[in-house]
Structure 1
Amino acid sequence: MKLHRLTLTNYRGITHRDIEFPDHGVVVVSGPNETGKSSMLEALDLLLEAKDRSGKKEVKQVKPTHADVGAEVTAEISCGVYRFVYRKRYHKKPETELTVLAPRREQLTGDEAHDRVRAILAQTVDLDLWQAQRVLQSAPTSAVDLSGCDALSRALDMVAGEVDATPAQGAGNVETLLIDRIDEEYRRYFTATGRPTGEWAAATTRLRAADQEVATCAAAIAEVDEAVRRHAALTDELSGLSVESTCATERLTQIRAAAQTITTLRGEVEQAGVRAQAANSAHEASLAALTERRRARADIDDRTATVERLQAAAAEAAEALDTAGEVQVAAEEAAVEARATLEASQVRVDTARSAVQRLADREEANRIAARLGTIERHQREFDAVRRALTAITLTAEHMAAIEKASAAHDRAAAAVEHTSAHVELVAEADLELLIGGEPVTLQAGRSWQSGVSGPTDVAVPGLLSVRVTPGASAAGTQAALDAAATTLAQALERAGVSGLAEAREVDQRRRDLQAAGREARVALDALTADDSADALRARLCELRENQPDDDGLFDLATGGPHDPAAQRRELIDATAAHQQAVRDCETHRKVAEEAAKLLAQRGVHAARAKEKLQAARDELAAAQLRLAAQRDAVGDEQLALKAEADGEAVAAAQAHLTRLGDELARHEPETVAAALAEAERAAEGVAARRDQAAEALREVATALKIFGTEGRKGRLDAAETEREHAEAEYRRVQRRARAAQLLKSVMGRHRDAMRSRYVDPFRGEVERLGRIVFGESFEVEVDSELRIGHRTLSGRTVPYESLSGGAKEQLGIVARLAGAALVATEDSVPVVIDDALGFSDTGRLAKMAEVFDAVAGDGQVIILTCSPQRYADVQTATHIELSA
């Protein structure tokens, strides 16, 4: 299979794209991200697999969002002897068109075209190989599995010598067709996982159902036999239970008579107990009355003692109240005196603080006045500097221009000196000369020399005239000197100076003034950093306004100014005395408060003591009245005699109760009660078992009557006959299923053996290409499924899954290219590599380029990438660049 052309129209974000692919070799299709490189492969798959009216999610996702049109895909493909152009439009007005160009021209549309392409591909293309020969950016990096590719299997068989090197058309599919027929026969009886299905499962199910039916019918017959046996057993059991019930009834009657005697004795005991309890209650009442009489006498004695104790406590509380009143008066007087002392000390502190504050204000005013004088002095200096600077017109820019023009003038003068002609005249005798029109006198033996940059005349009046003309270069340098002189003169004029020396002197004076101005400015900024001069003047005025008259700052006793140290000591002493007065005042206040609280507490205590004394007197009088009334009703001696008589009655009732209790104990009531309960349980149990046996006998008899009408024996015979037929069918199908299973197993072993033989050619091709990338020590281990399991490099073997992402990607490409190199030309399919080798370094990319060049034969290798520089070293590659 070869892809010659692919055209996309309105596909996802692609408006139109038409690409022609070379028939063989490596083609690199490059473009930025999201230009639809991966969409090209997706579009080709949809074209070959999905119908134009398909509602699959994959088809819906490619509908363009920028226009209400249908996505179109057109491809020109050749496979086997066929070459065709295939076009589909999806979504809006779907249609399918097929034009077969070879071996004979055909034109089909709709589903007929789709079915025709599917038939051509099934006949000429190994679709498993077409899917396997892809390296996708979204696919996992697991080892590629090529075991299901028939085209590669045929190629490896041919390399391994298993088939004729020139097979007839279609002969390579013989083994595949045979295995498919074996698999088809195997699938009639087993699933892919080996579980029974189809005829084998149906025969097994039928036999299992027949066995279950026979077992059910046999169980039904056994149920009838069990019912007959149970009927006879229940009849015998019911007869025995009738005799046992009679014996249990007689024993229950005897035990109930004994229990009745015990019940009579227990009633007499209860009556005697009631009488004894009544006598005991009467005795307790008489004892209680006697005890109450004694308690009343004792209570009166206690209340009398309480009244005496409360009288003493009330007198003591009254005395304490008087003492607390005296203390409270004294504490109030001390507190008043302490408050007066505090007020006097506060006046002293205020006076001392005011005097100290006046002295502090005077000192602050003096400091501010001195500071303002300094500020004004620096301000005058700063203003003088500014006035001096204003008079100077020379600026730093002017000076820089003058220095630059002077340097240029010096360079030009030096150039003139270097290029000018030099004239030297030596006088043999005294001479009068005219040089340049100027008279020059030379004495004998003297010389005159000068550089000449322009035409100059030298003449001896009346004797000789010489004209010296310098060369062109000297004239040029003289012109440059004149220009430099003009520039220097202009710069000096702008600066207002006459020469370079004066300019430098003025510039130095300007810099000195600027430095003095900066110093004055810094001093002013430092002096006014916290407060401005205006703020200081306002503060000074405020302080002077608040100053007292002159006599307020003088000590009238000494006739001189107040001593600041003495004033501060006076403030400290006054403050200390005031703090002490505050503490004393607070102490006396608290003492007065505590005295008031003590007076209130003792007043309350005295009132409560008085109330308690009056209440105790009232309670004593009431108790004496109650005792007198009780004695009028019953005397103390009568109460004692009644209590003694009630005690004797209690003793007599208790003795009678004891005799009856002994009589009851001799009859052993607990034993009789236990025996009665046991006899009742036994009688009830026998009766229940007899009723259950009778009911079970009736149920069995009824069931036997029903069993006789069901025909269970006939059903058992029919079930046994069905089982014989099912077992015969089961054995027949079992033989065929086992035969198919055995044939599949044998063919599987045969195919595995063949694969183990053609693994070597595949491994050899992988190692041949891999050594280009990894070096001569590269080896791989390939299993029977043609998957790479281990890689060996420099004697070190590493499992495939433990390799880095880049190494896995490189091995995956090498394995696919090895398969493409082994497959026959007529079975080849394009190898598609989508944005791979992103984890490879520069060296590996160069080696992979050599691999691509090594397999660039008859097959197609299509590389989709956003980084074409990765494949720049592929010498045989054709590059196609996509626009964004």
Structure 2
Amino acid sequence: MKLQSLRVKNFRGITKQEVTFDDGVTIVSGHNEIGKSSLIDAFDYLLKFKDNSNSQIIRSCQPVGRDVGPEVEATFRIGPEVVTYRKRWISARETVLSFVEGPRRGTTLKSGQAHEAAEELWSNLDTHLWEASRLMQGSALSRSPLSASTALQRALDEQAGGTSEDGTSGPLMERVTAEANRYYTPTRNDGKILVDAGKRVTVAEEKLANAQAEKDKLTALIDELASLEADAADRKANLEDQEATLAELAEQAEKAQALQSAREDAQKLVESIERDVADASEKVARREHLAEAVTTAEEALTELSGTEKTQSEALAPLVASLTDTQDKIAGLKSDLAAVKKALESAREFERRTAARLELDRVTTLLADYDTLSTDIAELEGALVPASSESLERVVDLERDIALAEAAASAGAARIRITSLGAPTIVLDGEETALGDDGLDRAVLEELTVEIPGMVSMTVVPDQDADSNSRELVRMRAELSQALAAEGASSVADLKTAVTAYEEGTAKLSRLRERRIDKLQGSSAEQLRDNLVRLKAVLSKPEEAVEGDIDALTERHESLEAEIATVDEILSDQQNRISSLRTELAATTGQVMNQRLAVTRAQADLETERAAATDEALGESLKAATMRLTEAKDKVESLEAELVRSGGHALITDYELHKKHVEGLRSLLSEKTSDVRVKRHVLETLQRDAIQLAFDRALSEVEYATAERDSLQSRALAAKLLEDVLKKHKSETQRKYIEPFRGALQKLGRLTYQNPTFDVEIADDLSVSGRFLDGDLIPFDDLSTGAREQMSILIRLATASLVSPDDAVPVLLDDTLGYSDRLKLHRVIDAIGSLKTASQIIIFTANEDRFAGLSRARRVSL
């Protein structure tokens, strides 16, 4: 793979940057934090993240306060294909893959097709070698295992004579390792598939335990019912035995009654009277039967009404509980709405806080910009142009005049005037004080000397002096004109004006540069537009209150989960209430029917009483009974005789036993009622549903256990095969470690200028130690500079071994910061002299370190 160019826009702190890379060595230099490492990250993200990714990594690449999408475009070659791959995230998302060279030249793909095609293209690259060929900040000093690189293995295999064609490396080993990786972590603990399978078994076992508990409850009820049924059966058997005994006593009583034959004559009279009593008794019995029917109907009505009341009472708390549950849901939804509102408010607060910070920054920039603009305008208005060329001309004239005056003075006549008492004289019309030293000057032109009130004289120079004088006058006139043209009264004034103009121009240039720097890559109009946008954001009417967004989000999710749970409880309560209401409606119908039965029984009783009152029937029965008593008195005397004969005892035993049997029947009836109640309870428990749930849970446990066991078997088989292949591979690896060691040894001896340099190579192709002068120092015990140098040599040795088809760029990011001058130059010499098909791309904040790479392409950020 070769990287031809990389263009990054709106990525972290990079507004726009484009870098073109050479096939050999490319040095990308720039100050710290200018974005060198960001260029590498940008290329990685281009390959890794789709344009619709919401990853925090991608969101963090968006420039703060700017509504733009990070954009990356790279042109690179893999095999025969040269492509240009562009991607933009967040805003105006886009993915474009264009094939520039190769079989698909001219083809352009977009969106998901472009991303998939790029992934397919990238899959042809040895990604392990790509990762291992980097030496980045923060990871530069660690050991770098290279055994996963198939490209390096192929190269070493060719160097060693083809030792790796034994199936323990290349695709087979990769497939076996990939299969083992499906089941295990890199440390060969149980991986997600096995852990999830175990979790499914645990969940199924928990469901089975719950179903078993429900089934145990059902079994307990069934056992209790069986116990009640067994007790009822025992009582029924006892009743049957007692009824048999009663039958035997009845037979004996009948025999005793045979002794009463003696009473037949007396009994005839009794029978006659008894018919009357019977008739009256029948009427009374009918009346009692009707009254009993009314009582029975009323008792049944009372029982049904009690059942109705019990069901109503059972329904009431469920309805109350349903109301409580509904109230709870309403409260939770109210809380959810409040939390949602608070979360939106907190997010709005966060957005406004960011906007406020950006507003302060933009306001400050604009204020500084406006201040600088005012200063520039003031300076421009106060700046008076003064030409340095005019100054040079004036200075030259002044120098020529001075030389001419000196020459003229040297060859001209002189006039000396000494004061003898007059303090002043007049020279060419100007009053001049003589002083103690008098006056001494060369006469270069006609000069008038006057002593006021006394004498006036004219001194005329010779012809040559006069000619020089005229030249001086001309030059002075020219000087005066030049000064007047520049608006200066003297040469010194003009010098001051030129200096002021040049200093003002320089200051104006500096102010303009500072004003451009204040814009930070934007225009003033853009900043003012951004200021308006930020003010609009801050003026939104939405509520914005600071809050813990993570906590509010967690609370929001918790409330939603709780509402879902309570909804399930509400649904269950509604189902139970519906069932109870159905039962209550049935019972209410039975109560209404029983009330009709009571009404009918009462009507029949009233009809009979209308024909004859209860008192009349009682009097008629009483009269017949009195007559019967008189007749029976006679019978009793006969019964006394029966008693003496033992017949009475037999009849009494029979009656007592008969009562005992009736008591047993009553107890059996109660037990039978308990059995019916318990059966009703079992019927309401939905026995089939419980059994079905248990059966399903048991099936799930069996399925999950079988799945887990199957996965574990496959995992153990894959791990066993991997271990066997690794063991065999470690044996074969030793045969082709030597070419790697030889390449690294050659570079190391060149760098250290020491023939004793050697390295110790581990089975994973990482350097575990360095030999120098016979002493072995473990890699981790080397100094920081030595580890950094060794890390660079490892990558260079790898690049020198792999074939051109497998080559990837070697990336060095801010390296050699710990090396002494001598080692630094030797490592750089090793980089420059290396013959490899791989690109070498160096990112550095100190370009001077790599001055020795004279043929490298240099890019300044």
> TM-score if structure 1 supplies the norm length?
0.39
Q: Report the structure number with the largest CA radius of gyration.
A: 1
The normalised TM-score by structure 2 is 0.40
